[in-house]
Every structure is written in C-alpha cells, then in structure tokens.
Amino acid sequence: MKALCYNNVRDLRVENIPDPAIISPKDMIIRVTLSSVCGSDLHIINGFIPTVKSGDVLGHEFMGEVVETGSEVRKFVKGDRVVVSSVIACGECHYCQHDSFSLCDNTNPNAFMPEKMYGDTMAGIFGYTHAFGGYSGSHAQYIRIPFADIGAFKVPEGLHDDSVIFCSDAFPTGYMAADMADIKPGSVVAIWGCGGVGQMAIQSAWLMGAERVIAIDKEPYRLRMAREKGRAETINFEEADVLEALKDLTGGRGPDCCIDAVGMEASGSGFGYAYDKVKQWAKLENDRPLVLRDAIMACRKGGNVSIVGVYSGFVDKIPMGAAMNKGLTFKMGQMHGQKYIPQLLEYVQSGQVDPSFLVTHKMGLEQGQEGYDMFTQKTDNCMRVVFAP
C-alpha cells in the first residue's frame, strides 16, 4: 500500500509499504477514507521529537471503512464506517476505567522511552513516534486499529466525512480543553491559538455556557474564522499587547478561564520570543512557552488554566509565583478521545456543531509534502489539509 512517511526533517515521501495485518484478536483493519494534518505533527516534522525514525508513517486524525476484524472484535463488521480516536487505549486498566484514556498503562510497548523524560508511560498514539508506541499512522491507504472496540466509533447515518473526521482528534481535544477549564454559564474564556484545536475549543466553550470567548492569534484568516464561525472576539498579538487587551476587555479583572491551544512552538515577538528561540536552537530548552506565560499572567485570581497545546520536555521562566499567589488551577493533558467522541458525534448529528469548516484543502497522499508545507507556512488561508488516500 502507499503511505506518507517521514524521511528526515521537513522531508516526507510517499512509499510502498506492506499492508497491515491483524496481530491481536482485538485488532481491526480499516481502509482510510480521510486523514488530516495536525499541528502536533509539525513538532515531529520540524525535528523537535527525536524518537521518530526514517520510514515511520505519520498521521493520527482519521476515519475509514472496516475491511477486516479480529476474532474478539464485537462492535464492528466489514463495511462499517468509523471514526477512530488518535489515542490508543485498552479500556481495562485503572486509567481507562477512570476515563483517563491517554494515560493508559497497556498500549505503549516502548514505555521505557517516555519514562526517562516523564517518570512514567503514556498511552500509545497513532503515527506519533516510537516514544508513543511506534504505531503506524493514518496517512496511508490502510491502518491497523488495536483495541478496536474501545477506540473506534460508528459514524451515524447521513453525516458527511468532512463533518466527522475532526471527531477523531481536534474536536475532542478542543472539547477537553474547555472541559478542563471548568467553563460555567457566564464565564469569560480566553483561547490562545486559532488553529483547528483552538477553533474547536471556541465551539466547545459556547456549548458549556460561556458568556464571552476571546481568541488570540496573529493570522488574519484564522482570526476571521474565529469571529465568523466561532462568534469570538479576537486579539491579534502582533497588533496589540495581549495582557493589556485582555485587561481592557474584562474591566481589569482578567478571563475566568485561559486555554493554551498552541504549545511548544509558540510564536511571538520581543525579548521573550528571542530568548526561547535561542535556547531551543542551542538545545537548552525543549519548548517555547510564550503562551503559557501569558495565560498565567492574564488569568484572573482563582481562575483556571487549561493546557492542550503539546509540550515535550523542559521550559524556562514560568511565572510560578504569579500562578501560586493568584491561586490558579491547572489542568492539562493529551486528549481522552474515548471519553468524548460519542457525545461529540451527537453534537454533529444534531447540527449544534459542524467542524467541516476546518477542511480548507483536500489532496492525495502524493501531495503530502506540499500539503504539510502549505499547512506549516499558512499559505492560501490553509486551516487543515485533509488527505484522501
């Protein structure tokens, strides 16, 4: 089969690789119908996650059609249309039993890798390097789904693929961001990052009763989408001081809830951005936590900071004094897709949310490098490139 593979930093190639096969009786094989790029893929492609190897198949946000099931798969039959959580979970360990699926104890065969950095292991993730299990990704014609009854979900009749695919990752990540922020009716919510996850966090904040949503980015087309599709107020951080603007918009109080939907490759200006870029280049710091610093400083006293933007290792100059003395609550993590996807499919089916507006470009796998270049450089108002293998 054809698959889009990592070859080197910013160098992707379509290769012919063996078709996947059933390994465990709980496995399922699907024919991939759509597979989306994601901002967290860029951390791999840009060389910030060293546990990727040449030949690894990328991609973790996808849907498809069942072509084969293992003997212990009970929920699916050949021909079923499914959307699959990017996180792989067993459904039986302590963490899965408590709906913390991305902390699963049993799906990362390379547990020794994250243990060195994080002190413990996390769940496996499709197409997300060997530190997260070394699983083949979804930018391919076919993919094996371990623990299929736990991680795959039937698509309701009548829903278009474009409306469903982001229930695999972007929508549950954005929804979990809003959930962890403890948004209540009347809350004022600030969201850094207006990419796919940020846009879904905006939609989710309204679902949870937010009174106002303020979105922060620098790309005019993303900010426009936040206003037109998300009904958000917006701040362009290249045109305004974000902290001062948030004070002005909230009467000097600050947002009740702050969401970091950016993570380790945050953009910015001034000394702080230059400092992080130099330290990251010199391998003295893994990540650029500009957004995290701003979120801490902006959040009102007693407020909540929710982090779903990916961080990989160590960061510098975090204002912990402000966080502690303001009494902030932090929640963060990789998304627990299996917890949220059934509810999100209901929102899509009812018409309350239609994530299809994120699909701005469709391509074949052969255009994979072009698609990721467009996504990275944010050309042609690219929000998401979706591959149809």
pLDDT above 90 covers a percentage of the chain that reads: 90
Q: Which residue has the higher pLDDT, 116 or 323?
A: 323
Whether the per-residue pLDDT at 281 is higher than 90: the answer is no
Model pLDDT for residues 138-157, shown as the tens digit of each residue: 999 999 999 999 999 999 99
Question: What is the pLDDT, as a whole number, of residue 374?
Answer: 96
Q: In angstroms, rounded to a whole number, what is the distance separating the alpha carbons of residues 347 and 200? A: 12
For residues 69 and 28, is the Cβ–Cβ distance under 8 A? yes
pLDDT band of 280, cuts 50, 70, 90: confident
Listed in order, the ranges of the chain carrying CATH 3.90.180.10 are 2-169+335-387
Superfamily for the 173-332 domain = NAD(P)-binding Rossmann-like Domain (3.40.50.720)
- Yes or no: say if 152 and 67 are a contact pair by the CB < 8 Å rule: no
pLDDT of residue 282: 84
For residue 206, give both structure tokens.
Answer: 């309204």
pTM for the model stands at: 0.96
DSSP-derived pairing of the beta strands 257-260 and 304-307? parallel
Residue closest to 352 by CA, chosen among 173, 137, 171, 218:
171
Q: What is the pLDDT of residues 192-204, one digit of tens each?
A: 999 999 999 999 9
Q: Pick one of 3.90.180.10, 3.30.420.40, 3.40.50.150, 3.40.50.12280 as the CATH number of 2-169+335-387.
A: 3.90.180.10
| AA letter at 234 | T
Q: CA-CA distance, 334 to 93, in Å (whole number)?
A: 17
Question: Which amino acid is present at 52?
Answer: V
| Residue keyed to tokens 């999100």 | 344
Q: Given a cut of 90, is residue 285 above it in pLDDT?
A: no
Residue type, 270: G
Q: Which helix (H) or strand (E) holds 327?
A: none
Q: CATH 3.40.50.720 in the chain: give the residue spans.
A: 173-332
Cα separation, 51 vs 40, in Å, equals 14
- DSSP-H helix ranges across 190-336: 196-207, 220-228, 242-249, 270-281, 290-298, 320-325
CB 319 within 8 A of CB 307: no
Q: Which of 91, 40, 26, 94 is nearest to 264 (CA)?
A: 40
What does the pLDDT average to over 322-329? 98
Beta strand 87-88 with 152-154 is unpaired
Mean pLDDT of 171-178: 98
For 69-97, what is the mean pLDDT? 98
